[in-house]
Structure 1
């Protein structure tokens, strides 16, 4: 039976402290050395390393190969809370989660209108149709020829086709 590696942030910090001679580390190197398989386990290692960088335990340097990590020599800050402080933080977190719903003021009643009034309101919002401009009468070909005009008939493709 294969045992799963302990991937808690404390276990990752412990491994990093024990293997300080192998500096600098890449994220892939850390995951392979700890024995984290791809997927969820590597995501847990990524989170632990990210937390170590944020806390100042590790320093991240971006290189052409990708980010590399080194120990800074600083310890991890450890905050020890008393029971009262822990309860107070829990109360504050619970208070944030609880939303107090303030009842709204009731809306004023909508006036009841007769159907005729509703139709009149809608009719007032309909735009008036555009006015149609009267057009001058257009001269036909026969009228143009009667006046003495000449019409040039151009040959078309369908005139050339033998029926």
Structure 2
């Protein structure tokens, strides 16, 4: 596979997440975004926040940059009751339940910032960069390409989960 083919595939895949995220939150009230199908389920707001945070954190690491969450002040704009470096991994049901949001528009704006950073990283990568091993604790060791696929896989799963919960929200009405 050529560098250009890999780049085009990655850009297309991440663009699909960027296009889908605003659609999943568009037109929903804060109450809709925070509705949980049961007491331990994730709500749309947490799912799309975590989707963006995990992508932001992992892409920032790959790019050797500070995350948009911290560097661009998203942590302050969201004002969540979590430590500044929180990204959602391993959060308890109570922590998910403590999520609050005043401006639903923040989700698409934040993810757009993260997407731009992701696209900029992907644009810079060549075949050698994709093959670079970044974590030898796994068998096989994790490469930049494998990490990007993992980020994309997580984002797609969480977007799908948020879309499903949105469907439940709409059926409740």
TM over 0.5: no
More helix by share: 2
Structure 1 or 2, whichever has the larger Rg, is: 1
TM-score, length basis structure 2? 0.27
More strand by share: 1
Which structure has more relative contact order (CA 8 Å, sep 6+)? It is 2
TM-score, length basis structure 1? 0.29
